[in-house]
Amino acid sequence: QGCTQKYIVKNYFYYYLFKFSAALGEEVFYITFLPFTYWNIDHSVSRRMIIVWSIVMYIGQVSKDILKWPRPLSPPVVKLEMRTNAEYGMPSTHAMAATAISFSFFIATMNLYKYPSELGLAAAFVFSTLVCLSRLYTGMHTVLDVIGGALISAVLLVLLYPAWDTIDHLLLTSPFCPLFSIVVPLVLCYNYPKLDYYSPTRGDTTTILGAAAGASVGFWLNNQYAASAYKSVQPGFPLITSTMLFVLARFFVGILVVLLTRWLMKSVVLGVLGYRYKFPIRDLEARRRLEVEVPYKFVTYSSVGFTATVIVPVLHKLLGLM
């Protein structure tokens, strides 16, 4: 798992295109695009995307570790990534996330804003297709893995769509939302399917559910205590209704605060857990233990989700960026 393969790049266009496309299904994309949508486009769209994303990704990650289908053999394929090589292959969660995010964004915005529906549909299709193809190019999935992931995500979208408004209403108004948003994801993380060897799937699932939990608590708090301040913040797409200067300022200020939160909480929580379980913070094997990995990732990323939905908008308002 720790070795790398030597290869020669013959077409740099495809190489960088698909390396970039693969990144659209990873944390670097989630931690930028989802908050960007919340800060600059529409809160309701962002909420629906986060709901779909967290449910789809949890089902996808658990399915991998239940089915236990291996990734493509290498050789003959050349694997351009090593971190996810320890995971199983079916279904491709990159394909699931790309399909869920792109099409949920299209569905959530097509009735809110005036733009050609054909253009939105084409953009969602191109986005998801690029991410799917990147998994084949990088040697991380078979064609069946990718098709399976996209189809599962599409079925889940169809099943979830009729319940979007109900789920969203409960997230905003139910007095049990904060407790439910924290307890249920924690129970799911601690009862994640056990494997014979370590895989990053449990940690990645905890990251996703933690971020969604923190964001859900933030949604509820905003609706309870800051509803009037938030409803008028997002009148439409930023390129149409806002200057790019304000859009970029909100984005960079927000991302800076989110990244600082992630760094601070990770350091603090790992320090506390290291003291509790008597291990050095840099001990990778200790950080992979259930009693360490789940709380440190859940607390870190729930703090990130809460910061993105509550702290950053308040900061935007104080700085006159609303």
Nearest one of 95, 262, 288, 269 to 202, comparing CA atoms: 288
Q: Judge whether 109 and 69 are in contact, CB under 8 Å.
A: no
SS3 content of the chain, % helix, strand, coil (to 5): 75, 0, 25
Question: Is there a catalytic annotation at residue 141?
Answer: yes
For the CA atoms of 36, 262, 177, 288, the dihedral, rounded to the nearest 10 degrees, stands at: 130
User: Of all helices (H) and strands (E), which one includes residue 239?
Assistant: helix 238-241
Question: Is there a catalytic annotation at residue 316?
Answer: no
CA 276 to CA 82: how far, in whole Å? 32
CA 308 to CA 214: how far, in whole Å? 9
User: Half-sphere exposure of 27 toward its Cβ, with a 13 Å CA cutoff?
Assistant: 17
- Helix, strand, or coil here: 116? coil
CA 322 to CA 315: how far, in whole Å? 9
CA 53 to CA 145: how far, in whole Å? 19
CA 149 to CA 244: how far, in whole Å? 36
Q: Which of 43, 141, 169, 316 is an active site residue?
A: 141
Q: What is the DSSP string of 59-76?
A: HHHHHHHHH-PPPPPTTT
CA 56 to CA 294: how far, in whole Å? 19
Helix axes 201-225, 177-190, angle to 10 degrees: 180
Which residues are identified as catalytic? 94, 141
